[in-house]
Structure 1
Amino acid sequence: MTELEKQLESYDFSLFSYPKVVENAPIAFTRVLQDTQGYALANKEFTRQSGYSRQEFNSLKDEEILGSIHKDDLNGFLKAHEEWCNNNFRDTFRYMYRIINREGKTLWLDVYYYAELDEEGKPYAIDQIYVDITDRINYENLLRESEDKYRRLTESVPAAIFIYSDNRFIYGNEYSVKITGYSVEEMIGKHFWELVHPDFRDDVIKKGSERLKGNEVQSRYDVKIIDKYGNEKWLDYSGTLINYLGKPAVLGIAYDITEHKKTQQALIESELKYRTLVENMSEVILYVDNNDRILFANDNVTEMFGYDKTELTGHFAGELLVDEDYREAMSDRIKLRRHGFTDRFEIKMRKKSGESLWVEISSAPLRDNSGNLIGSIGIYSDISERKTYENTIESSLQQKDLLLKEIHHRVKNNLQIISSLIKLQSSHVKDKEIHSLFAESQNRIKTMALIHEKLYRSKDISVIEFYDYIKNLVDSLYASYGISPDRVKAKIEFRSIYLDIDTAIPCGLIINELVSNCLKYAFPNLMKGNIFIDLTEQNDIEYKMIIKDNGAGIPETIDFNNSASLGLKLVKILSEQLGGNVELIRENGTEFRILFKKANYLRK
């Protein structure tokens, strides 16, 4: 109750005997005579509120006077007034309601009636006071709206928001329930440190106490709590000293970062596994940037090249490690790396002592989280002994076959290691497009690894039976992209054709790129269809390979000869490497026809 309201409750209505005071008062005063039901008095403030003078108001009918009261307030007013009258006009009548005055403006009024009684106790006049409380009501409404807005804000934020004073919770939003498991009622009055994990409790109590004292402490830190059900959770907590109801308190905001912490721990463990793998491989691992500058080398580099790994960091690998006669060849390989190609080759290198050695290098591109090429990773295998062995057993075909089988086996293993390393790295990438690029690189590596697997298991290690290879490759791609063979059927024409490694690898990579494109783009929205693959011997010097589908087709806007797609570029480059050409037909889907030379005629 305001001071004005207290005064009005005990108001001495004898002031009506002071006409000047009443006439100029900032409160509306009226007196209604019971015998005439006319207004004997109405001051200036009443005229301002109602818009009528006393004379004009007296001319109004009862329904017109009551009609000025807001329709939502009228019935309540009439009922309260009737009760007052029935109670013999005892005490002061008070009611708050809205009026719509003569000008159409809505006002809130706090109304007080006092009955002047004659000797028989009957009222001969009613003294009335009308206090304009419109501004106060509007302010209260604004305040209420502001409180509602901030309440909705705190309840909608995905974070626990709470206040504690004297080390006890005095407020908590609904999200606090989700994080702690306690209802708001259960939280209120509880010591804040009861929720904190014992390992963190002393530190949190100390920081909280210092903050309440006004001392400067770390405002944001990670803390572990135990919820109502015994579950451990990690919170990103920040606290601010505030004044709440006249006392120092702490406003706390906490985000649940439990899953983030688990992911962080998984990354640490994954990094440890990855590093353990690299450091314990028998081969040398080198990371180089796009300029062939060494960024990392594992411990095996000392045994293979005689350098401590710290001596190599920052130097150009080709200049420091490659034999002078082979540096130009190495330069060509570096150019391929800069275009993101996976590569495998043998090269003569030199140790710190000057002693030469033969090394087999398997390399794959390295990309950052945005998919930008930042360098390459290379696996260096010392094949010096193998080279010496090859030179001494040239006369023995059987021994040569055994050696080549070993080479293919080791190459297959190396490619699988590279594929595994790429897979490890891709597990840290959240962007789906970049993750897809890693997957495509893995499929290309698997395509080459499958060639070496077939050669390793073949009776004649100089060639492979290509139908069986295509079937295994297509099955692998279906599994990689998760495509059901019942929805998209692969039809591979059986022909007994044998290809050597120089022809099989480019052909396999072409099939990998074109079939991958079919599986990714040709049959959208669970569309059904067919993929057709055929390799035929045209004549003594040429093969013809057809890969087609009856899917959505390549858009006319894509120029095959000038495509930005790495896959289509590879198809064009590999076809030229085979001495062939590519024809693209855009009818009833997409068809690629590739005519290329047999290996022996290509060498001529």
Structure 2
Amino acid sequence: MFSACFLALRLDTWATALLVGLASAALGLLVSLLLLRKRAALYRERARLVEELRESEERYRLLFQRTPIGIFYYDTNLVVTDCNQRFAEILRSSRERLIGLDMNNLRDQSPLPAIREALRGREGSYQGFYASTTGEGRIWASLRTAPLTDAEGRVVGGVGILEDVTERVRMQAELQEREFFLRRLTDNMLDLISQVDAQGRFVYLSPSNQKVLGYRPEDLLGTRAMDLVHPDDLAMVAEAYARAEERLVPDRVEFRARRADGSYLWVESLGNPLRDEEGRVTGAIFVTRDISERKKTQERLEKMNRCFLELGADA
């Protein structure tokens, strides 16, 4: 009986050990499977990040190469480390000649202060004429620079953005020249030139207004043009302006205009409506002249005609 009990005990021990071994093996297998799944997930995540990085680099490369503005990079020694094709085109040079260029030796050093400013950790800018060192470019340049930093925030170089604004500068110069010509023309005209907005308020008056009516242009800006019309002539002037606005053609009218001293002066005004791109009236331009002498002559002629008629009737 003792032997049977001993045998049963040994069998229980073996069974327990077997179960423990199987449990340990199963646990090890489970842990291995979990680690494999986690490693597979990490691989997938890494592959996704690598693909996103590749796509991001591709987008940056396309942007870098196809942007309509010039971009260049340089190190702390002011040596160009990279540039896009547009940068080379603006300077009428090539990437091969520009990459590796020591900008300390630029023939035209006008933009150097802005370029060095980035290496001090600040943004820089330059607006002005520039003559290329490696090409035939002679342009009016708009340059902006910014620092490049590493993971610890240390400046390791700079990036520059270059635009060719030659055409813009030329157009601005032409516009200023035309404005100067027109200003000189209107400032020396004997006729009164004025412009009103859609509400009939003055937005421009030539200096001749002061010579004829006695008002400084700035005194009338923002006031209503109709405020200068003699009360007895208001209806006639309003009708003429409405007619021109309706027909969208210039119209002429004679009326008495109030001078700064309160007296009235006979003037003749030609109004031309202004329209926007959709055909809506946005105001008008008036050319007005003093016709006082003409009116006096007309009055003398009318008086003489009346006298002749009276003499003829008496005869």
Q: 1:263 aligns with which of 171, 182, 185?
A: 171
Residue 249 of structure 1: CA displacement?
Answer: 1.2
Q: Aligned residue for 1:205?
A: 112
- The answer (yes or no) to whether the contact 2:192–2:205 under 8 Å persists in 1 is yes
Q: Is structure 2 residue 94 aligned with structure 1 residue 183? A: yes
Q: Aligned residue for 2:182?
A: 274
CA deviations on 1:9-46 (whole Å, 9 max, x unpaired) are: xxxxxxxxxxxxxxxxxxxxxxxxxxxxxxxxxxxxxx
Residue 310 of structure 1: CA displacement?
Answer: 2.5
Letter of the 2:138 counterpart: E
- The answer (yes or no) to whether the contact 1:196–1:225 under 8 Å persists in 2 is no
Measure the CA separation in 2 of the matches of 1:346 and 1:291: 21
Measure the CA separation in 2 of the matches of 1:277 and 1:180: 40
Measure the CA separation in 1 of the matches of 2:268 and 2:211: 16
Q: Aligned residue for 1:479?
A: none
Q: Is structure 2 residue 211 aligned with structure 1 residue 303? A: yes
CA distance change for structure 1 residues 335 and 254 in 2, over 3 Å: closer, same or farther? same
Letter of the 1:277 counterpart: L
- The answer (yes or no) to whether the contact 2:123–2:147 under 8 Å persists in 1 is no
Give 3-state SS (helix, strand or coil) of 1:250's partner: strand
Aligned length: 260
Residue 135 of structure 1: CA displacement?
Answer: 9.6
Please report the RMSD computed on the Cα atoms of aligned residues, expressed in angstroms: 3.4
Residue 187 of structure 1: CA displacement?
Answer: 0.8
Q: Aligned residue for 1:490?
A: none
Measure the CA separation in 2 of the matches of 1:395 and 1:190: 90
Give 3-state SS (helix, strand or coil) of 1:291's partner: coil
Give 3-state SS (helix, strand or coil) of 2:177's partner: helix
Q: 2:239 aligns with which of 329, 332, 335?
A: 332
Residue 155 of structure 1: CA displacement?
Answer: 1.2
Residue 367 of structure 1: CA displacement?
Answer: 3.9
Residue 355 of structure 1: CA displacement?
Answer: 3.3
Q: Is structure 2 residue 70 aligned with structure 1 residue 164? A: no
Residue 229 of structure 1: CA displacement?
Answer: 4.9
Measure the CA separation in 1 of the matches of 2:201 and 2:49: 71
Measure the CA separation in 1 of the matches of 2:107 and 2:182: 35
Residue 139 of structure 1: CA displacement?
Answer: 7.5
CA distance change for structure 1 residues 284 and 193 in 2, over 3 Å: closer, same or farther? farther
Residue 194 of structure 1: CA displacement?
Answer: 5.5
Measure the CA separation in 2 of the matches of 1:222 and 1:367: 37
Kindly indicate whether structure 1 or structure 2 has the higher relative contact order, using CA contacts under 8 Å at least 6 residues apart. 2
Q: 1:323 aligns with which of 230, 235, 248?
A: 230
Letter of the 1:242 counterpart: L
Q: Is structure 2 residue 39 aligned with structure 1 residue 150? A: no
CA distance change for structure 1 residues 283 and 148 in 2, over 3 Å: closer, same or farther? same
The structure whose residues are more often helix, as a share, is: 2
**TM-score (normalizing by structure 1):** 0.38
Residue 147 of structure 1: CA displacement?
Answer: 3.7
Could you tell me the percent identity over the aligned residues?
Answer: 28
- Please, which runs of 5 or more residues in structure 1 have no aligned partner? 1-47, 49-132, 398-604
Residue 379 of structure 1: CA displacement?
Answer: 0.6
- The answer (yes or no) to whether the contact 1:342–1:364 under 8 Å persists in 2 is yes
CA distance change for structure 1 residues 183 and 393 in 2, over 3 Å: closer, same or farther? same
Give 3-state SS (helix, strand or coil) of 2:86's partner: helix
